[in-house]
A and B are shown apart, each in its own frame.
Chain A
């Protein structure tokens, strides 16, 4: 089924691209509920739009050619400015298209609300992400560890990322896995995902935040639950992820160390912190917004109930 869906997209809009491998077309090779639904939506809407576009483009050129003055057609009628039939079609075609797409927008926007935790009763696994100039800091509060420029998450389990930034406005982007969402200083935003299989994906800051923003990238590793548990244990002892670049290891990430980390830099190596001071994320947000309090993460069911 997935193969069939991919067909028209590859065929129609992306002829020119050099193949459609996972690495070059992450969005068209989605993983997990969010990525897959968003891809599905992309295909359906492209198809609907093409259904309207192609006739319009052909019709325009055809009419212009058919009624060229040199053809000298006899049915020239300078007063032909109104026809119930044509006017009906010209209003209903756009109207129906937009009504269909509008309905889909309503449904999918609610279904894919980035704030909605996936799964129903299961409490999502929490990861905190801080966007720095020009690197990403990920804190795993449950395991008490932190990483720079490497995101590791479990599969088969809903995950919530709490996001903030210091000091620029940026946007987290893991094509094919999560919805893009802004990270802003003094604020918390969220992204949710549920990956089914272990895999690897590139992540980035998609929002320009100064020269060097394009180096604010990271690799996302989705691990099977037992591997993930082993990784958190290992990371607390300074062990790098197997099969990935060896990490630089630091002891403890507290506010004092954070002040060093926040200084603008480019191309930082993957770094592991064996331990993290417990309220660091909250303290980072409070640098800008002293009134901020971190609330506990809802489950999918609780979020829907509250909405």
Chain B
């Protein structure tokens, strides 16, 4: 009945494991309790759990990302603490706990923090910037979200029931094979990635079609905001790269479950193929995360410099070049696997070539500020912090691309420092800048600037202190993933790194305080105009928060930054005539499918085959049932749309 799930799978074997489980369960119960206390279930059900509105799905994505950010960061803090403590001989993580922690940290931060954060921001912003009323496939959009949430749930539950993988976030065989790791840990990892892989692929399809088919009239490709361009390229990368990952983990799952030999060392299997497939996804993944962040920075810099972006067409070309080249460099993750010098050199040089368009972008952001009027909104802090710190990571990235340098730094703390230097200032700073930039659009009031700036300094200083020592430790020969530091001379730098992690902790707490303070003081910080930053793209032409149908009348675009240009010329945007709007009917089906996917994965991990079959049938039934629903849209009559228009005009001072 319960497969291989027994009493021993519960975390009563160690205090730290039990503490982690208690926090997870306790936090979950607390959230449920609070929702019940404030009688929010009905509101939540109607507005979020069953919604197909892209804006609310975007918000839910970001909530998931922030929750997972906290979880992943606790892992990071434990790792820094363990390495520091063990250097002085008193490590506190026992058994394979450290290994579980770094595996969970990487998996969570990439798949369940960065990716959902990106999906959330894009979901919210993209249709608004395009002048669209929703994404192309609202139902599939909700399904993507709920599958992601289900997969994230699997990672979270692994803390309570059973263990997580110890194979790192990359899960290389033969270590992740069933012979070496027969337990549930790797299976948790496999199923979480498999499910979220499907979800992200569908998200990519949705974004591409939305951009191709749902632009406002007149918005030619070269009139799209840079953010939209970066999303387009990022989504195309998703379509090409994610199937490689989904296939790789599926084949690994077959090796584990049915003892096939895709990635075993013997019986004709080839473990190098997993490495290949994984990085065919893994490198592009970095770019599909960072491109939208570049898009956010472009929007933020242009808006707060009061200028058009410098070199728009060069920016677009740079983005497209990055998209193509990013898919041709994956071999740099295994220069040390023994390929010929020519193969290694070609991939090394291809990797460096990405530095050209990226460098160009940095210069273009600089010259967007040049002769502008730079306002130091908190999003500008994140942007400037990004520009200063990211170039250091770019430089060490180019160093890694020089094959013989990589021979020395590969697998060391230097590498860890490098990719955190890309992902923290590059990706996370971008998303946080976007979160603070678009927050008033989503909720109708601005975020507290003071706490935002404090959060920035916590992150920027914390990042520097935490990762610059790792560069040095790498050069001192410290292999990554070392649980017990064997050389006491590493201790001083590890202490610095730990202090850095504490500063980041302050940054995270400041983000939460900012949210709390802003909600508390929302009455003073209302955004009544819909355009608090003197923005440039279409999302600022509608009220904050936007009505369910986004645009009462669809704007007509006649140039790049049409809204900003209209404001400057003192005229109004042109609009199509108002009419009735069809909106998707809320539905419970995506949530049912997400929960079923969670149960399906859980059943497969624990060999509860009855539950596996049952949840599969529920998913299948839900999908078939859904396809028989004819009336999945409801019509907002023209009267109501126009009423929305009038109140919007009243509130927004005639913006629309």
**Chain A contact residues, CB within 8 Å of chain B:** 13-14, 16-18, 23-28, 37-38, 41-42, 45-46, 49-50, 52-53, 56-57, 59-61, 63-64, 67-69, 73, 75-83, 86-87, 89-91, 93-95, 97-98, 101-102, 104-106, 108-116, 167-169, 171, 173, 175, 179-182, 184-187, 189-190, 202, 204-211, 213-215, 217, 287-289, 307
Contacts and interface: CB of A to CB of B under 8 A. Distances in A.
Nearest to B399: A45
B583 interface: no
B356 A49 contact: no
B367 A86 contact: yes
A94 B310 contact: no
Contacts of B209: none
Contacts of B352: 98, 101-102, 105
Given A106-B349, A110-B341, A289 B266 contact: yes
Given A16-B468, A45-B399, A89-B363, 8 more contacts: A67-B371, A69-B306, A80-B307, A81-B307, A82-B310, A91-B360, A169-B271, A208-B99
A56 B372 contact: no
Contacts of A217: 486
A41 B174 contact: no
A214 B484 contact: yes
A64 B372 CA distance: 9
A268 to B, nearest CB: 15
Contacts of B574: none
Nearest to B490: A24
20 contacts: A23-B489, A41-B404, A60-B362, A68-B374, A75-B371, A78-B307, A81-B309, A90-B364, A102-B348, A108-B403, A115-B340, A167-B265, A169-B172, A179-B336, A179-B407, A180-B408, A184-B271, A206-B411, A206-B480, A211-B166
B479 A173 contact: yes
Contacts of B391: 53, 56-57
Contacts of A18: 489, 492-493
Interface string B379-413: 01000100110011001001101111101101110
A97 B355 contact: yes
Contact of B405 (A38, A95, A114, A202): A38
A95 B356 contact: yes
Among B314, B359, B371, B392, chain A packs the most CB atoms within 10 A around the CB of B371
B472 interface: yes
Contacts of A171: 336, 410-411
Nearest to A212: B483
Contacts, number: 294
Interface in B142-170: 166, 168
Nearest to B376: A68
A293 B373 CA distance: 70
B399 A168 contact: no
Tell me the interface secondary structure of chain A in the complex.
Answer: mixed
B338 interface: yes
Contacts of B180: 167-168, 210
A263 to B, nearest CB: 13
B276 interface: no
B481 interface: yes
A169 B373 CA distance: 55
A210 B166 contact: yes
Contacts of B175: 168-169, 208-210
A114 B479 contact: no
Given A68-B374, A82-B311, A211 B489 contact: no
B326 interface: no
B512 to A, nearest CB: 28
Given A101-B352, A210-B180, A179 B404 contact: yes
B292 interface: no
A175 B412 CA distance: 11
B265 to A, nearest CB: 4
A112 B172 CA distance: 27
A69 B533 CA distance: 14
Interface string B303-322: 00111111110100000000
Among A26, A89, A173, chain B packs the most CB atoms within 10 A around the CB of A173
Nearest to A190: B338
Contacts of A17: 472, 476, 493
A75 B372 CA distance: 8
A69 B372 CA distance: 8
Q: Which 3 A-B pairs have the closest CB atoms?
A: A94-B359, A90-B363, A179-B407
A249 to B, nearest CB: 26
B314 to A, nearest CB: 7
B614 interface: no
B359 A14 contact: no
Among B307, B338, B345, B349, chain A packs the most CB atoms within 10 A around the CB of B338
Contact of A76 (B362, B372, B412): B372
A192 to B, nearest CB: 12
A105 B338 contact: no
A16 B475 CA distance: 13
A178 to B, nearest CB: 8
B88 to A, nearest CB: 15
Contacts of B484: 214
Among B173, B272, B334, B359, chain A packs the most CB atoms within 10 A around the CB of B359
B404 A27 contact: no
Given A173-B411, A189-B338, A98 B356 contact: yes
A25 B475 contact: yes
B174 A169 contact: yes
